[in-house]
Copies of this chain bind each other. A is one copy, B any other.
């Protein structure tokens, strides 16, 4: 037992206390996201739609005139997956398509009045949750929150996404 135990045991490439902090932060993100996404689910399941519908409604609402390829890139799903859900939203009159001005192969997507109404109803409990959390945590905390989220995004796409979000 001639060890000189200055460092804590099992201190690998990363500090153990720091690792615990990271684990806690990961769990916090899990729980926050779990509750955050549960808000629209109540309304959705009563209406016979799912989260996939909400995601489409959100991004078409936020970026009117978005095309199919862009939507696919955002959602990271295949066109077959998107197609099934989007077809329903078109048929129900929540979303409409117009051919692109410059490229007439493209189908630009827009929410109809009915679509905007439904999207707002789905989003409102989520908006309220975020609004309350921001108010409770205060502006400095919000700023830090946004900074960390930005850095969690893949660096390769970070700039493009941030630009799009701010313009949207």
Interface residue? A127 (CB, 8 A)? yes
Question: Chain A 144-157, CB within 8 Å of chain B: the 1/0 string?
Answer: 11111111111000
Contacts of A147 in B (CB 8 A): 137-138, 141, 144-145
Answer whether residue A88 sits at the interface, using C-beta atoms and an 8 A cutoff: no
Given A133-B148, A143-B144, A145-B145, answer yes or no on A33-B29 (Cβ-Cβ < 8 Å): yes
**A145 and B149 in contact (CB under 8 A), knowing A27-B165, A126-B26?**
yes
Give A151 to B36 CA distance when docked, in angstroms.
10
Complex contact B166–A151 (CB within 8 A): no
The interface residues of chain B lying within 8 Å CB-to-CB of A91 are: none
Say what secondary structure dominates the interface of chain A.
helix
Given A22-B131, A142-B144, A166-B24, decide whether A149 and B29 contact each other with a Cβ distance below 8 A.
yes
A→B interface (CB under 8 Å): 14, 18-19, 22-29, 31-36, 38, 58, 62, 76, 123, 126-127, 129-134, 136-138, 140-154, 161, 165-166, 168
